[in-house]
Amino acid sequence: MKKKGVVYLIGAGPGDPGLFTLKGQRILQQADVIIYDRLVGDTLLNMARSDAEKIYVGKASGRHALSQEQINQLLVEKASQGLIVARLKGGDPFLYGRGGEEAQYVRQHGLDFEVVPGVTSAIAVPAYAGIPVTHRDMTSSFAVITGHEKPGKKESSIRWEHIAPGIGTLVFLMGVENLPFICQNLISHGRDPQTPVALIRWGTLPEQEVLAGTLDNIVDLVREHDFQPPAVIVVGEVVQLRAELSWVENKPLWGKRIVVTRSRAQASQLVDRIVDLGGEAIEFPAIEIKKEANLSGLHNALSHLDSYDWLVFTSVNAVDIFFEELIGCGYDIRDLKGIKLAAIGPATQEQLTRRGLKVEVVPEEYRAEGIIRALLSLSKPGQWVLLPRARGARTILPDELKKAGRHVNEVFLYEAITSLSVSQKTLENIKQGLMDYLTFTSSSTVHNFVKIVGRENIARINHNTKVACIGPITADTARQYGFTVDIHASEYTIQGLVEALVEESKASRED
């Protein structure tokens, strides 16, 4: 029996990926086909399966990738093939998103659909600008109105005589090009020309801009500032509250575009901190973690665990793979009894602690030199050290331990290889120097980043983008390629790197 397809009409929200719904994310991860609009960002598209077909059908002013009729037909065509179709639309699909028309067309052709509402820009965008659409001291009513109605239309569908004097807050969507028409109608139908107005461009995103004025001067201000669409228009006394309630622009990394070069599997902590602090985290994974095909060296070590005195981990990746193989080979943490554990830093320590293990050594300096000093002070000549780690890592750690009389069994678990899944759009933006900061969390991220972007582009990137490194070894690697390292983390951790970014951003604002 042929599988029956279904169309999900999903609201992508106003732009900030954090406002995307959990249900929307779950369906997006299951979908066979993603049919998406212009205002849907890469972060949401990256949630989809890697093998999902992605079809752009965006509409800009005067330019349509596909007509609405063609979009309707595409939905039916894909669902008729028994596929799960995610129709991803900016904002909410049933608020000026023509979702109702698409649902009707799907139903008329005997197919099923579901609606996943999205956070509407009509409320979220003003909120991000510090403007509540209602406030009991000012107004208890608001209306959402299309701003796309063209002047000269024979009969307006907007009852200007009712909304102009009768509703406290008016929110116009898609109305920048018709702003003179909107202001003229509001004033001529009884709205005070001194009524506050705000235009919010790219609301909820780091590029957000707000232009405030009144009904009688906002058109001139838009022309003077060359304020371009898309933008949400808010009319009403609540606009005055922005001076008191503005919040997102006050975040320390607000408006900063920060490239994260860690592997996607490791990037979440850094990405989340950047976003929490108001920045835009541009995921550009320069590396992928490739597990060694032949782990016989590790398996042999696991069969002789009782001969080791120390087990040293220099990365979270090594911890994950080591314990995956430990369990896979029929052992468990009880077989580590009597072995002392060392971790290069707090993140690696935390990964071990979560497994119920006590870590004896975490050096004050979170790099190989620090762990060497700590181990030499606590271990004895003749003791055995098991060092599971990445292929291509610096040799100083095993070399120095061996020189001091320790026996070291170095086994390779994985390799950081150049990522093949980079966004071409992001790549071009990086080459053009359109990012504020470029972060490196290891030497391997530097090596592989350069392989992707090309050494010939480093000078241009370096001229416009500041480089932040997690520690001195990574910084030295970056300098060897010609980067100017502008930001150093005082503590060689993700938190230390974020704090360094915040300090630099604060200093740049004060200059």
**The tokens 């193989």 sit on which residue?**
325
Domain 123-250 has CATH 3.90.800.10: no
Catalytic machinery residues? 37, 59, 174
pLDDT tens for residues 173-201?
Answer: 999 999 999 999 999 999 999 999 999 99
Q: What is the mean pLDDT of residues 384-405?
A: 95
Query: What is residue 366's predicted lDDT score, i.e. its pLDDT?
Result: 82
For residue 427, with 0-12 CB atoms within 10 Å meaning exposed, 13-18 middle and 19 or more buried, which class applies? middle
Does position 510 have pLDDT exceeding 80, yes or no? no
Q: Classify 257-286+419-510 by CATH class.
A: alpha beta
pLDDT by residue (tens digit) across 94-146?
999 899 999 999 999 999 999 999 999 999 999 999 999 999 999 999 999 99
- DSSP string for 104-158: HHHHHTT-EEEEE----HHHHHHHHTT--S-BTTTBS-EEEEES-PPTT-SS-SS
Domain with CATH 3.30.950.10 in the chain: 123-250
Give the model confidence (pLDDT) of 320-377 as tens digits.
999 999 999 999 999 999 999 999 999 899 999 999 999 999 998 888 899 999 999 9
> Does residue 152 have a pLDDT over 70?
no
Residue intervals of the chain classified under CATH 3.40.50.10090 are: 257-286+419-510, 290-418
- Considering only residues 365 and 421, tell me which one the structure prediction assigns the higher pLDDT: 365
Asked if the 290-418 domain carries CATH number 3.50.50.60, the reply is no
Please answer whether residues 270 and 262 qualify as being in contact, where contact means their C-beta atoms are separated by less than 8 angstroms.
yes
User: Which superfamily is assigned to 6-119 in CATH?
Assistant: Tetrapyrrole methylase, N-terminal domain (3.40.1010.10)
- Are 314 and 397 within 8 A, CB to CB? yes
Helical residues (DSSP H) of 211-355, grouped into ranges: 218-225, 242-245, 268-276, 296-302, 316-328, 346-353
pLDDT for 247 beyond 80 = yes
As a 3-state breakdown, the chain gives helix, strand, coil percent values, each rounded to 5, of 40, 20, 40
Residue 163, pLDDT above cutoff 90:
yes
pLDDT at 1: 55
| Residue in the block written with tokens 């024979």 | 154
C-alpha distances in angstroms, 47 versus 21, 50, 86, 449? Answer: 12, 9, 12, 23
- Average per-residue pLDDT in the chain? 92
pLDDT on residue 162: 93
This prediction has a pTM of 0.79
Is pLDDT above 80 for 81? yes
Confidence bin at 3 (pLDDT 50/70/90): confident
- CA 160 – CA 179 distance, rounded (Å): 14
